[in-house]
Amino acid sequence: MTQNMKNARRRIQIITLGGTIAMRNHQGGLSPALGGDALLDFLKEIDFPFQIDKVEFSNVASANITFSDLIRLAQHITSLNRDDYVGVVVTQGTDTIEETAFALELLAQSTINIAVTGAMRSASHRSADGPANIISALRFLADSDGTGEVVVVLDDTVHSARYVRKTHTTKLSAFSSGEFGLRGRIHEERLKAYNKAPTPLEKLSVSGDISGANVLLLPICFDQEAPLLEHIVKIGPAGLVLESLGAGHVPQTLLPILEKAARKIPVVLCSRTNQGPICEHTYGYPGGEMDLLARGLISGGWLPGIKARMLLKLLLMNSPVDSKTRFSAYVRNFF
């Protein structure tokens, strides 16, 4: 994009959803407090060369954001005029930010960039990080081309939505892109890009109907009890994502039920290590990844379990047809 084209678009919208960034101490515990106006009041004092619109979407802990909220949010962003907007900042709780940002990457049908941010410290904290994170998110948008990229910005670091993970409960630097590396860093008020924006993923249109798309994420543990898994499969989920052992392994006692389930529904193999890809042709023992893939389970590739569950759920909401093949195509393009 040329500088002239960029200058023609002079608006950024900040959409507030809630989270710690908007929480205050109340009767000894943090709870949602600041609405959009109060949260963003500090921006009055900052000279920023864009018009900032505020939209208060909700004010909840991120554990209480739902799929219907997420779809409404994506539709709202899609409806914004791309000739006016440089980008959108979404503020929300950090607990589910890695899932919602990835979902926006799949759902928002727009070339407007989206920077999702939050805070590790509440608005009551003497050194709250919320305002700094919002400013960094604005700076990312000011310095990046509109390709429909979705990033998570916290602690001056910029992460591609599809790679970012929350890896600590309370540290300011709680987010990591692992081996993929940072998308960039906000340095001296500008974006220093370390990596290019990843190739956009194919967008998914979904209706708000989530009834046929129950997907359970299940970590597999040492000597996991097969009867428990049998009960879960009987309940009739539309899909199952396993955070399996190591590079894609399970105890062999689970094989009959997993094979049975994989005949009916997509059963995705991810790793509970949450780092590195599932192997395909390394371990040949019963319950090893070669055995599981041969029994009809599908590889989650590099996707951590929570992102595989998000992708599978949105794919099933889009259409139950060919969900295994379509899931595998996304996995190939993920990295």
Q: Are 210 and 314 contacting, i.e. CB atoms less than 8 angstroms apart?
A: no
19 near ligand ASP (CB under 6 A): yes
| Shortest spacing between CB 163 and ligand ASP, in angstroms | 19
Nearer to ligand ASP, 123 or 151 (CB): 123
Residues 47-106 that bind ligand ASP (CB under 6 A): 61-62, 93-95
| Shortest spacing between CB 18 and ligand ASP, in angstroms | 6
Nearer to ligand ASP, 123 or 268 (CB): 123
CA proximity to 15, closest of 110, 103, 114, 163? 114
Among 39, 86, 114, 118, binds ligand ASP (CB under 6 A): 118
CA dist 53 and 50 (Å) reads 9
How many residues can be counted in the chain? 335
| Shortest spacing between CB 184 and ligand ASP, in angstroms | 22
Nearer to ligand ASP, 118 or 301 (CB): 118
| Shortest spacing between CB 20 and ligand ASP, in angstroms | 3
Q: Are 108 and 8 contacting, i.e. CB atoms less than 8 angstroms apart?
A: no
Instruction: Express the helix, strand and coil content of the chain in percent, nearest 5 each.
Output: 35, 25, 40
Phi and psi dihedrals of 326, rounded to 5? -70, -35
| Shortest spacing between CB 130 and ligand ASP, in angstroms | 9
Residues 161-220 that bind ligand ASP (CB under 6 A): none
Closest residue to ligand ASP, judged by C-beta, is 93
Nearer to ligand ASP, 2 or 170 (CB): 170
| Binding residue count for ligand ASP, defined by CB under 6 A | 9
CA proximity to 133, closest of 307, 14, 7? 14
Q: Which residues share a beta bridge with 15?
A: 55, 90
Q: Which residues share a beta bridge with 88?
A: 13, 114
Nearer to ligand ASP, 9 or 159 (CB): 159
Nearer to ligand ASP, 94 or 299 (CB): 94
CA dist 4 and 319 (Å) reads 41
CA dist 63 and 55 (Å) reads 20
Positions touching ligand ASP (CB under 6 A) are: 19-20, 61-62, 93-95, 118, 120
